[in-house]
């Protein structure tokens, strides 16, 4: 069940929020938006409120918003039909004699078309989707920071085993280990390495217990355990304590400020990764729908916070990717609209079709690449599945 639900939640929410941004911006600027759909394909539920029909479709991966545009005849069938002609009513309650096309016979006023709006309004509509994706990530980060605080390199004793050196030294669950032999701890690995290399030798640990500093001396004992990095069994020092990452509570102002920094930082990293892809570096690491599904399931198993972090990261990815100057993406449409404004007139239908086909080719090549990578990584599982389907073991 989780295999199906987790990817739908992750990718569906991210794309839905993106389209919701376009929809809200269209409404604010007065562009006629006759349909807002959650999902694609056949409608499971539909209800018209005012001049917009809200649809829940069979394939819940994302959604779309229909806007009155003279330039979308070629792709209108993907999103429920064009606004240039009224739909034939399948039932009496679907036809409204007082409504605009496609719900009734009234023509769409000139000022309600997307192309009739000034450039600033069109840019506002086209940028609203990526803005909503960035805001989704931002508020997820802010919420998690408000709840848990900032991660700190200071480890916290989560479990202390009775009868072991840590318990004998007086360490208690919840104690923060701030210093090692008088030096501040920069990360948990420093403490782990020192304990592992100090069997039979005492270590001075500076603790913080309920806000009060406390010093203890602990002597690791030699145990044969798997090396945490290689998995090979070796003799290491151990004190009988399991530590977890610590968090420092922060104020609301600090949380919102740090969330902004995280959003910008992750966005810049994605831009850097895209720059590397332009030069052919890391193409084999690209993941597609299968990779997203696998990561979504793993994140869901890790808990709600892990799943929210994945949603935030993918939301930033979608925002950055949509800013690329590829014709069928938001970035390409922005570039096209700016070019037409500078030119002083719209491009011809033939030119637009050529630009659109070029964008579709680029997206198609990208899709083939990520699917090839996904299949290559999962070939063993695919062969095993085919063997089961056709009655052969693999």
Tell me, yes or no, whether 211 and 266 share the same domain: no
Q: How confident is the model at residue 131 (pLDDT cuts 50, 70, 90)?
A: very high
| Residue after which a domain boundary falls, among 248, 268, 288 | 248
Tell me, yes or no, whether 175 and 160 share the same domain: yes
Tell me, yes or no, whether 225 and 201 share the same domain: yes
| Residue after which a domain boundary falls, among 248, 263, 294 | 248
In three state form, how does the secondary structure of 129-153 look? HHHHHHHHHHHHHHHHHHHHCEEEE
pLDDT, tens digit (0-9, with 9 covering 90-100), for 259-297: 999 999 888 877 776 666 555 545 555 555 556 666 666
Distance from CA of residue 152 to its chain's centroid? 24
pLDDT, tens digit (0-9, with 9 covering 90-100), for 298-339: 666 667 888 888 889 889 988 988 888 888 788 888 988 898
Measured CA to CA, the distance from residue 271 to residue 288 in angstroms comes to 18
Tell me, yes or no, whether 387 and 312 share the same domain: yes
Q: State yes or no: cis peptide before 312, omega within 30 of 0.
A: no
What does each C-alpha distance from 84 to 69, 108, 160, 346 come to in angstroms? 9, 8, 71, 19
Tell me, yes or no, whether 321 and 202 share the same domain: no
pLDDT score of 1: 58
pLDDT score of 75: 47
In a domain, 55, yes or no: no
- Which whole number is the average pLDDT over 75-80? 45
Instruction: Enter the pTM of the model.
Output: 0.69
Tell me, yes or no, whether 158 and 143 share the same domain: no
| Residue after which a domain boundary falls, among 220, 248, 276 | 248
Tell me, yes or no, whether 299 and 347 share the same domain: yes
Tell me, yes or no, whether 235 and 255 share the same domain: no
- In terms of residue numbers, what domain contains 168? 150-248
pLDDT, tens digit (0-9, with 9 covering 90-100), for 181-235: 988 887 777 888 889 899 999 999 999 888 899 999 999 999 887 655 545 677 8
Tell me, yes or no, whether 197 and 163 share the same domain: yes
Tell me, yes or no, whether 231 and 366 share the same domain: no
């Amino acid at each position: 069940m989780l295999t199906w639900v987790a990817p739908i939640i992750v990718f569906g929410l991210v794309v839905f929020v993106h389209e919701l941004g376009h929809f809200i911006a269209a409404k604010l600027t007065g562009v006629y938006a006759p349909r807002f759909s959650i999902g694609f394909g056949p409608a499971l539920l539909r209800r018209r409120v005012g001049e917009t029909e809200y649809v829940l479709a069979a394939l819940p991966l994302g959604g779309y918003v229909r806007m009155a545009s003279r330039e979308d005849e070629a792709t209108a069938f993907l999103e429920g039909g064009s606004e240039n002609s009224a739909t034939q009513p399948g039932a009496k309650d679907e036809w409204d004699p007082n409504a605009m096309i496609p719900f009734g016979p009234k023509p769409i006023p000139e000022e309600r078309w997307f192309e009739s709006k000034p450039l600033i309004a069109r840019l506002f509509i086209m940028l609203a989707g990526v803005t909503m994706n960035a805001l989704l990530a931002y508020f997820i980060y802010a919420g998690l920071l408000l709840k848990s605080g900032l991660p700190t390199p200071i480890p916290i004793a989560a479990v202390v085993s009775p009868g072991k050196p840590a318990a004998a030294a007086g360490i208690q669950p919840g104690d923060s280990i701030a210093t090692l032999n008088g030096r501040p701890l920069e990360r948990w690995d420093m403490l782990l390495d020192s304990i592992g290399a100090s069997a039979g030798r005492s270590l001075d640990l500076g603790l913080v217990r309920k806000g009060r500093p406390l010093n203890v001396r602990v002597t690791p004992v030699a145990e044969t355990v798997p090396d945490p990095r290689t998995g090979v069994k070796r003799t290491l020092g151990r004190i009988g304590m399991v530590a977890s990452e610590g968090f420092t509570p922060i104020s609301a102002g600090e949380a919102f400020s740090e969330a902004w920094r995280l959003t910008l930082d992750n966005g810049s990293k994605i831009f850097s990764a895209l720059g590397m892809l332009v030069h052919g570096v890391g193409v084999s690491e690209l993941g597609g729908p299968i990779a997203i599904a696998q990561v979504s399931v793993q994140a869901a198993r890790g808990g709600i916070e892990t799943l929210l972090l994945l949603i935030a990261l993918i939301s930033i990815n979608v925002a950055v990717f949509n800013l690329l100057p590829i014709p069928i993406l938001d970035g390409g449409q922005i570039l096209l609209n700016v070019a037409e404004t500078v030119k002083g007139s719209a491009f011809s239908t033939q030119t637009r079709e050529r630009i659109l086909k070029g964008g579709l080719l680029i997206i198609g090549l990208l899709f083939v690449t990520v699917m090839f990578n996904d299949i290559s990584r999962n070939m063993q599982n695919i062969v095993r599945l085919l063997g089961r389907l056709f009655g052969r073991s693999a």
